[in-house]
C-alpha cells in the first residue's frame, strides 16, 4: 500500500508533556497538509508544505505547535506543553501540485491524541 501513513495512530499523554506525530506522504507528492479534527466537527486546516518550505500556517497553530518537513519527504508535527484542548484527531494529507488546478488531497488515517 503506497497511501499516506501516520504514526502513531493513538497517543495518550499527560497535560504539559510534549508529543510528536509523523506523516509519510505518497512518495511523489510535493504538497503536504496538516489538519485537526475535533469530535463532531469537520477538519480544520493547520499548515501546509510545498516540498520542504512551510508556506502557510493557520492562526489555530499557536506557538506551542511546530511542523517540519526536512528534505521534502516525511513531516513531523510537534506539540509542546500539551493542553486538554489539544485533544483531537490530527490528519495529514498529501497531493501532487501541478500548478494547473486543485489536485486531490489523499488523507492518512490520522493520529488521535488524548491529553489527560
Partner 1 sequence: AQSVTQLGSHVSVSEGALVLLRCNYSSSVPPYLFWYVQYPNQGLQLLLKYTTGATLVKGINGFEAEFKKSETSFHLTKPSAHMSDAAEYFCAVSAYNQGGKLIFGQGTELSVKP
CB atoms within 10 A of CB 77: 23
| Residue 102 near partner 1 by CB under 8 A | yes
- Rounded to 5°, the CA angle 66-37-3 comes to 80
All three cell numbers of 103: 489536485
| Residue 45 near partner 1 by CB under 8 A | yes
**Residue from 43, 79, 82, 86 that binds partner 1 (CB under 8 A)?**
43
CB atoms within 10 A of CB 5: 16
Q: Which range in 12-20, 39-47, 68-76, 79-87 contacts partner 1 by CB under 8 A?
A: 39-47
Under DSSP, the state recorded for 100 is S
Q: Using CB under 8 A, list all residues that contact partner 1.
A: 4, 31, 33, 35, 40-45, 48, 50, 55-56, 91, 93, 95, 97, 101-110, 112
Amino acid at each position: 500500500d503506497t497511501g499516506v501513513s501516520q504514526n502513531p495512530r493513538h497517543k495518550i499523554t499527560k497535560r504539559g508533556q510534549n508529543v510528536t506525530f509523523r506523516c509519510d506522504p505518497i512518495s511523489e507528492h510535493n504538497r503536504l497538509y496538516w489538519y485537526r479534527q475535533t469530535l463532531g466537527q469537520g477538519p480544520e486546516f493547520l499548515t501546509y508544505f510545498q516540498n520542504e518550505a512551510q508556506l502557510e500556517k493557520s492562526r489555530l497553530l499557536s506557538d506551542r505547535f511546530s511542523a517540519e518537513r526536512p528534505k521534502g519527504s516525511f513531516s513531523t508535527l510537534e506539540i509542546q506543553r500539551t493542553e486538554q484542548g489539544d485533544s483531537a484527531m490530527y490528519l495529514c494529507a498529501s497531493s501532487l501540485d501541478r500548478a494547473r488546478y486543485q489536485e486531490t488531497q489523499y488523507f492518512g488515517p490520522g493520529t488521535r491524541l488524548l491529553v489527560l
